Copies of this chain bind each other. A is one copy, B any other.
Amino acid sequence: MATSDAPYRLYYWPMIQGRGECARLVLEDAGAPYVDVARLPDEQGGGVNAVVTAMQGNLGKGVPPFAPPILTDGDLVLSQTANICRYLGERHGLAPREQGARWQAGALALTLADLFEEAHNVHHPISGSLYYEDQTDAAARAAECFRKERLGRFLDYFGRVIAVSGGPWVLGAQATYPDLVLFQALEGLSYAFPRAYAKAVAGVPALPALRDRVASRPRIAAYLASDRRIPFNEMGIFRHYPELDAAAD
């Protein structure tokens, strides 16, 4: 193992929650010491430059990362949100103990990663490299499809997962890292699509219940109340453009 006693170091864009927020939530709930490197002042090695340097593969040995979030644990350099969350979850008591269930937790985190991707695609259907303002027509159509066909399907699915496990957490009696990622998805969807979210979640009461349950975990509550939690904004994955949250669906 490449672990060490040094704190984890997370490299992610300092101005948004984005995908990095999933890693932040697992680190916070675990009470694991970490440095959110890019949120340090530039003169302490922080800022956007810290992320760019990390993407260039200068952090350690082995496979360079393709994109942030990037987590280092000693000389081990990890990327991909679902991979980072699983790694942390398994090391900090936030994953199932049974091996089969660990692979099922992995699948849940990856299905949530797909939901994040689809939510991002709503405002950037043509390309992440163009401004939203340059793809508003396509975004309006993408948003309609997302609200009508995808949002409810995802929320119903996670409601079904909780029903099958017996709840209150996605995998049953014990909270695991997919609960934290699901919390972030619900936070983001309710921010970006308040009307469509309210409608879609109305028939799945287990989801707002889980969201409240995560928010009141002591370390998460402390985190959410701190300035370490960056507010939602229109630069991240979940953006509130009222025109994409529809009228009379």
Contacts and interface: CB of A to CB of B under 8 A. Distances in A.
Interface of A: 1-2, 57, 62-67, 76-80, 82-83, 86-87, 99-101, 103-108, 110-111, 114, 117, 121, 125-127, 129-130, 135, 138, 141-142, 145-146, 149-150, 154, 157, 160-161, 164-165, 170-171
Contacts of A157: 64, 66
Given A62-B100, A80-B110, A110-B110, 14 more contacts: A57-B164, A62-B104, A64-B160, A64-B161, A66-B114, A66-B154, A79-B111, A80-B106, A126-B142, A127-B141, A127-B142, A127-B145, A127-B146, A138-B141
- Tallying the copies of this chain within the complex gives 2
28 contacts: A1-B100, A62-B100, A62-B104, A62-B164, A63-B108, A63-B161, A63-B170, A64-B157, A64-B160, A64-B164, A66-B154, A76-B103, A77-B104, A78-B103, A78-B104, A80-B106, A80-B110, A83-B106, A83-B107, A117-B117, A121-B125, A125-B142, A126-B141, A126-B145, A127-B146, A129-B145, A130-B145, A138-B138
Instruction: Classify the secondary structure of A's interface with B.
Output: helix
A184 to B, nearest CB: 17
